[in-house]
Amino acid sequence: MPLRTLANVLDSALDRTVVPGFSKIGYAVRRRLPTWPADPAPGSLAGRHVVVTGATSGLGTATARQLSALGAHVHLVVRNADKAADVARELPGPSTTWTCDLGDLDSVRACAAAMLADAPPLDAIVHNAGAMPAERTESPQGHELSMSIHVLGPVLLTDLLLPKLEGHEARVVLVTSGGMYAQALPVDDPDYTRGTYAPPTAYARSKRTQVELLDILTVRWARAGVAVYVMHPGWAATPGVTESLPTFDKVMGPVLRDADQGSDTTTWLVGAQPRPRGGGLWMDRRERPTAYFGRNAASSDERRRMWQWVADATGLTP
């Protein structure tokens, strides 16, 4: 078999076996294959403006640093401006900080209004803000907090900022999680009001929602010329994992990716030229299946119903 065909077979096998593929083993193997795409050119983001939410820790900080190293002016969208100042001092390039709580839709609207008034045209948004509350917590608008931070806030912020993205071949990246493979779209209970609340389940349900809304968001934001991606970082060692999943962190710690490895594909999606085809779930610079053997895949009707819920919750016209 040709070398590239063998590389694709090995890549797919790593995916199906989960632990090797999602860990640092998969990352190390894949980047040595002939199918690994080239890195963005040095300075490829010079003069570009990129928004990174959740930029004060973990994957968000690593993403901001990588994008800055490529020349981007990074806009840090954060809850804590003091923590953002610490991150900004370590960036090799310029940055601007915007205060926003992605879990509070009123805060999202206020941040969007400030950015529409004062920010320059934007070339990309990376939605990395995340949370896994230890118990069921509601946003100020009464929505389960994981769903609000991972779905409602990012969708609303991006939609409101479309005037800043339009005409720039802009890119939007939603950072998801491999946990979404284990959950179905919670179309009948998006706010997790039924059953016993489990933080990892709530987190994974919201991440499944990101993936299943991808096609709808791609069509919606295409009018502004925006390409949309969902990016799976693999299993990465971050403060959030250590705090929220201590057993997983202890057992899998030796093979977890570091933050830079987990953020690699996000940076590549933002910086690669030509712009990668939008509308897919990506990991290690390659588009991946959103479900295996059809397990937990949503129907078009379920996606439509979930989108209607999101539109109603955010006040957007579906």
Per domain, the residue ranges of the chain are 1-35, 43-314
What's the CA gap between 192 and 137, in Å, rounded?
10
Helix, strand, coil percentages, rounded to 5, for the chain: 50, 15, 40
Q: What is the distance between the alpha carbons of residues 77 and 114, in angstroms, rounded to a whole number? A: 12
Instruction: Residue 264: name the closest of 244, 245, 292, 283 by CA.
Output: 283
Domain spanning 43-314, CATH architecture: 3-Layer(aba) Sandwich (3.40)
Which residues are bridge partners to 77 per DSSP?
Answer: 53, 98
pLDDT at position 253: 74
Spatial separation of the C-alpha atoms in residues 41 and 268, rounded to whole Å? 10
The pLDDT of residue 264 is 98
Beta strands in 4-151 (DSSP E): 49-53, 73-78, 95-99, 124-127
Token pair 């370590």: residue: 90
Cβ atoms within 10 Å of 266's Cβ, excluding its own: 28
Which pLDDT belongs to residue 241?
Answer: 65
User: What is residue 242's predicted lDDT score, i.e. its pLDDT?
Assistant: 65
Strands 124-127 and 49-53: parallel
Strand order in the sheet with 286-288: 95-99, 73-78, 49-53, 124-127, 171-175, 227-231, 281-283, 286-288
From the candidates 181, 192, 203, 229, which is the catalytic residue? Answer: 203
Task: Decide: pTM greater than 0.85.
Answer: yes
Residue in the structure block whose two tokens are 């030509």: 274
DSSP conformation class of 188: T
pLDDT per residue, tens digit, the chain (318 aa), is: 578 888 888 888 888 887 888 999 999 999 999 999 999 999 999 999 999 999 999 999 999 999 999 999 999 999 999 999 999 999 999 999 999 999 999 999 999 999 999 999 999 999 999 999 999 999 999 999 999 999 999 999 999 999 999 988 999 999 999 999 999 999 999 999 999 999 999 999 999 999 999 999 999 999 999 999 999 999 887 777 667 667 766 766 788 999 999 999 999 999 999 999 999 999 999 999 999 878 899 999 999 999 999 999 999 998
Q: What is the pLDDT of residue 3?
A: 81
CA atoms within 13 Å, Cβ hemisphere of 45: 32
Phi, psi torsion values for 149, nearest 5 degrees:
-75, -40
Confidence (pLDDT) at 296 = 92
pLDDT at 248: 66
203 among known catalytic residues? yes
